[in-house]
Amino acid sequence: MSAPDLIVRGKRVLAADAVEPTPAAIHIHHGVVTAVTPFDEAPSGASIYEAGDDLVMAGIVDTHVHINEPGRADWEGFTTATRAAAAGGVTTLIEMPLNSIPATTTAEAFREKLAAAAGKLWVDTGFWGGVVPGNLHDLGPLWQEGVFGFKCFLVPSGVEEFGHVGEDDLRAALPVLAQLGAPLLAHSEDPKIIDSASTVAAKLPGKKYSSWLVSRPCEAENKAIELLVRIATAAKSRLHIVHVSSAEALDIVRAAKTTGLAITAETCPHYLTFAADETNSLGSEDPSYIGIPDGATEFKCAPPIREAENRERLWAGLGDGTLDFIASDHSPCPPELKRKETGDFFAAWGGIASLELGLAAVWTSARARGYSVGRLAEWLCRGPARLAGLSRRKGAIAEGRDADLVVWNPEAGFRVEAERLHQRHKLTPYAGRDLLGVVTATFLRGRKIFERGEFLAGPTGNVLKRSEA
């Protein structure tokens, strides 16, 4: 074993797949963990970072992030997003293929994206490709160039460069993905159900959150997931359902898992935190105010944040393993696109910005429901690393893995001050909210990149490619 160039040690280290943290020393050489030993085993002369009472966990892997560069860098960008990630303890992120121009639906577009990212990555970053109508022959080349899998939409995506697919497109694409071994990540809402629900909702006041909710019913998610399960089963392909918000869909996912289909599913911090019908401690001056306030379009996303009862069933779905993990779906836009001046939920861009707050948001709610930090590490680190095929390098503190670490205090609380977030635009539904879990330091491949509010190492993140993972 090579002599470590750094040891990170503490009283609470969450190594490998441990349920509870224990005192340990993490030995690091050239950015890789070479051993996890008892706390006192440190060769004399080694440089030591003392985490003290803070928890030391694997760096978070966030597989659902919209960065929008090139083309819409005024919405978010590689520099701002990856700095926000570092501040939030996220050391690996996988970027979504849409909202950039061009969208990542051809190998050429992928190369443009890599060029735009060059020199701007503060954490390790990989990329998803896209399945859109007519790009069947681009899937193989994208996979060869190193994307980790493919995203598609079953409903309009919100941007014209990224068309949504129908049943015929899926029946053609999934056998191709099956042959490659690539997962399909699906935004699962049925367009017909959304259309008819939207017609009903259009007659309701646009400033009311309840109107938005009427336009995106659970049924649309349930139906779309059923269709995807049928097609993926026939094609024997891998299927991942992104941002599950309908708790009714959990039965469908659970049943599909028992058939042997390689299906996984994620949910997001906002579905686990907020509720459409619950007193919102921040939303109104009036403490009896129920639900998401009128015009609070920072809460708009699709599928939508639903009722408290639905939220609790999502938590139960995480608890029993039906939902595999949690990803942020960080998707910001310029504040004017949120239409705060009219507060019209139908006109506003849908997307919630929370990359930097995922750890604290999820931990605050998880702890309140009795879940351990060990479960948290499964949901935020190991589960997403598995989806991307990154488990040999990322997602756990273990010999041979990259020394990506987040050192944080699970007992410390803070109030979210939007202006202090590092994302490009500060609008977020978490503003003013009290959360638990403060990041002390973030290490990327053995290098301290963030500590107590300061960025330390510059943009030292790598592009991750599937073939090298």
Q: Give the whole-angstrom CA distance, residue 466 versus residue 460.
A: 19
Q: How far is the CB of 2 from Zn ion (least distance, A)?
A: 41
Q: Which one, 66 or 433, has the nearer CB to Zn ion? A: 66
Q: Give the whole-angstrom CA distance, residue 246 versus residue 268.
A: 12
Q: Which one, 183 or 410, has the nearer CB to Zn ion? A: 183
Q: How far is the CB of 113 from Zn ion (least distance, A)?
A: 16
Q: Which one, 63 or 365, has the nearer CB to Zn ion? A: 63
Q: Which one, 152 or 439, has the nearer CB to Zn ion? A: 152
Burial class of 281 by CB neighbour count within 10 A (0 to 12, 13 to 18, 19+): exposed
Pick the piece of the chain touching Zn ion (CB under 5 A) from 78-86, 142-150, 325-333, 353-361: 325-333
**Size of site (CB under 5 A) for Zn ion:** 1
Residues 188-207 that bind Zn ion (CB under 5 A): none
Cβ neighbours around 459 below 10 Å, total: 18
Q: How far is the CB of 329 from Zn ion (least distance, A)?
A: 4
Phi-psi region of 448 (alpha: psi -120 to 50; beta: other; left: phi over 0): beta
For the beta sheet containing 124-127, the strands, ordered from the edge strand earlier in sequence to the opposite edge, are 60-65, 90-95, 124-127
Q: Which pair of structure tokens corresponds to residue 467?
A: 């073939």
Q: How far is the CB of 80 from Zn ion (least distance, A)?
A: 17
CA dihedral sign, ordered 239, 233, 237, 105: negative
Q: Give the whole-angstrom CA distance, residue 15 versus residue 5.
A: 19
Residues 326-385 that bind Zn ion (CB under 5 A): 329
Q: How far is the CB of 331 from Zn ion (least distance, A)?
A: 5
Q: Which one, 329 or 404, has the nearer CB to Zn ion? A: 329
Q: How far is the CB of 129 from Zn ion (least distance, A)?
A: 14
> Which segments within 219-259 are labelled E, that is strand?
238-241
Q: Which pair of structure tokens corresponds to residue 347?
A: 């006109």
Q: Which one, 124 or 329, has the nearer CB to Zn ion? A: 329
Burial class of 119 by CB neighbour count within 10 A (0 to 12, 13 to 18, 19+): exposed
Q: How far is the CB of 81 from Zn ion (least distance, A)?
A: 13
Residue sitting closest to Zn ion (CB) = 329
Q: Return the bridge partners of 151, or none.
A: 130, 185
Q: How far is the CB of 187 from Zn ion (least distance, A)?
A: 7
Q: How far is the CB of 102 from Zn ion (least distance, A)?
A: 18
Q: Which one, 330 or 394, has the nearer CB to Zn ion? A: 330
Q: Which one, 54 or 329, has the nearer CB to Zn ion? A: 329
Pick the piece of the chain touching Zn ion (CB under 5 A) from 162-170, 322-330, 360-368, 372-380: 322-330
Q: Which one, 76 or 329, has the nearer CB to Zn ion? A: 329
Residue 161 makes contact with Zn ion by CB under 5 A: no
* DSSP secondary structure letters along 402-428: B--EEEEEEEEEEE--GGG--SSS---
Q: How far is the CB of 126 from Zn ion (least distance, A)?
A: 15
Pick the piece of the chain touching Zn ion (CB under 5 A) from 134-142, 321-329, 401-409, 447-455: 321-329
Pick the piece of the chain touching Zn ion (CB under 5 A) from 296-304, 323-331, 392-400, 433-441: 323-331
Pick the piece of the chain touching Zn ion (CB under 5 A) from 16-24, 122-130, 168-176, 324-332: 324-332
Tell me which residue has tokens 């403490």.
287
Alpha helices in 39-190 (DSSP H): 78-87, 107-117, 136-145, 167-180
Q: Give the whole-angstrom CA distance, residue 279 versus residue 285.
A: 11
Q: Which one, 324 or 329, has the nearer CB to Zn ion? A: 329
**In degrees rounded to 5, what are phi and psi of residue 224?**
-65, -40
**What stretch of H or E contains 32?**
strand 32-37
Give residues in contact with Zn ion (CB under 5 A): 329
